[in-house]
Structure 1
Amino acid sequence: MSADPVRGRRWADHRRTLEAIAWKYRTCSPWRDLPDELGSFQTAHQRLIRWAVDGTWERILAAVLAAAEGADDIRWTVSVDSTACRARQHAAGARKRGLPGPTEPEDHALGRSRGGLSTKVHFASDGYARPLALRVTAGQAGDAPVFETVMATIRVPRGGPGRPRTRPDVVLADRAYSPRANRSHLRRRGIRAVILQPSDQISRRLRRGRAGGRPPAFNAQAYKQRNAVERCINRLNQWRGLAMRTDKLAIAYQAALHLAAIFVWARR
């Protein structure tokens, strides 16, 4: 006769584990300092990584976004920006081999600049300063090359039949997103762009005279709403473990960002 299948223990309470992960990133405390009433720190850390690898955090965020879309509570004037996060020495030294999955970048989204080790978080927020999409890169990465990736991350499921909504009405961005490729990308998708043009592009166009063409359309009144993404960044930076990175793995840090975004949308 074959032996009975080996069974593992019951899952630890999901609510308590979520509270443990949130406590760690709200306070930026070491995992081992987790209060006893929040359970084992190994359980919380393993759950954070496991759900990051299998995409659970992104699915939860998609579910709360779908609920907001069903209630017509998303303002589709989208603002895009990024913020640099200082990485402490605890974030360095992750193994190059044996990574938990293909979602972990080789550089662990760590870059070195004049300020030392850092990570950059790229955001797209709705008009009410709530995150619709986010991606992490190394700190020295430029904003413009990541623009299309951030835009492709916006996927809000609809409550009824139909494909997820991926196209905002308007996209607001500062000078860093002004390259022609980004404007062309929005034009192909039928999205109105309100992007500030840097002075060097303006002078280059003027020097060419008629060959420089007409300046891109810019609505100064609509651009004032771009502060929504700044307010969104400030909301997430209230979590000390997000304003200062201590995670060795990029997927762990991005999972914590998704958890904070879920909390923001759950309070709507």
Structure 2
Amino acid sequence: MPVRLVISDAMWDRVEPLMPTDPVRGRRWADHRRTLEAIAWRYRACSPWRDLPEELGPFQTAHKRLIRWAVDGTWERILAALLAVADTEEGVGWTVSVDSTVCRAHQHSAGARKGALGRSEPEDHALGRSRGGLSTKVHLASDSRARPLANHVTAGQAGDAPAFDAVMAKIRVPRCGLGRPRTRPAIVLADRAYSSRAIRAHLRRRGIRSVIPQPADQVGHRLRRGRTGGRPPGFDAETYKERNTVERCIARLKQWRGLAMRTDKLAITYEAALHLAAILIWSRR
């Protein structure tokens, strides 16, 4: 049975110029397109690496390439280059939505040794244990067309608000010409989990308009304080309807079963797969 591939010729024409060149010493790289197809197939099917079809080459090549390019930042650089081209050609939707999703972790994801890959890997490997078992939380920022701009992984029991600054710091779209990378959205949409003074002050300080509803307990606390409670924060209910873009973006990423359920022992490997999925989404435009 032939293997179903996902990288079209048009997509590869956008990605190929961004791939690393052959090393100065040593053997030539294996075919980049086949390697990307191999990694994508593994995460789409959520199968063990050893079950990779023979048509996609040795599984060791795909697995080592995924980790090596995660450590040296190659995946992030490719994604940033695609974002820069997209911002120049058709424009990135700068009404940004932020949210998170919990992904169950398979039992094979546990057991990574401490200190693996040095500073590149968090000590807890972004794995948390709760009543439901092991899990990882993916914090995500998407543009107004449900395409991922930045992601950050933490343990599954971690809160949404503490990871907000980390997600916003990863929004960085370079310019194709002169100028600094764009890091400031026009509007940020988020649900009640992000309603805090610190987050609102952070966005106000950067000149970013926030559309975040207040939870009932915060509203009640402000009303009980009377005049000292201050004015309620501004909220545009019509603009808030666009927050569904981040939910749609999460759904697109979770179409890959290996992202919906984590089987990687290392957080940096799992995050590299998220970057690859984002690369294919942006190259498909």
In structure 2, distance between residues paired with 1:135 and 1:77: 19
The correspondence of residues 79-90 of structure 1 with structure 2, limited to 5 A, is 79-90=97-108
Partner of 1:120: 137
Aligned length, in residue pairs: 262
Structure 1 residue 9 displacement after superposition: 2.2
Kept in 2: contact 1:53–1:101 (CA 8 A): no
In structure 2, distance between residues paired with 1:111 and 1:225: 31
Kept in 2: contact 1:80–1:173 (CA 8 A): yes
Secondary structure, in 3 states, of the residue corresponding to 2:202? helix
Q: TM-score, normalised by structure 1?
A: 0.96
Percent identical across equivalent pairs? 78
Kept in 2: contact 1:183–1:193 (CA 8 A): yes
Q: Does 1:105 align with 2:122?
A: yes
> Which blocks of at least 5 consecutive residues in structure 2 are unaligned?
1-23
Kept in 2: contact 1:175–1:196 (CA 8 A): yes
Structure 1 residue 72 displacement after superposition: 3.3
Kept in 2: contact 1:79–1:126 (CA 8 A): yes
Structure 1 residue 7 displacement after superposition: 5.0
Q: Does 1:12 align with 2:13?
A: no
Partner of 2:248: 231
Structure 1 residue 11 displacement after superposition: 1.4
Structure 1 residue 100 displacement after superposition: 1.8
Letter of the 1:195 counterpart:
I
Letter of the 1:70 counterpart:
T
The correspondence of residues 56-205 of structure 1 with structure 2, limited to 5 A, is 56-97=74-115, 99-205=116-222
In structure 2, distance between residues paired with 1:174 and 1:102: 32
After the TM superposition, list the runs of 4 or more consecutive aligned residues in structure 1 that deviate by more than 4 angstroms: none
Structure 1 residue 13 displacement after superposition: 1.0
Letter of the 1:42 counterpart:
Q
Partner of 1:52: 70
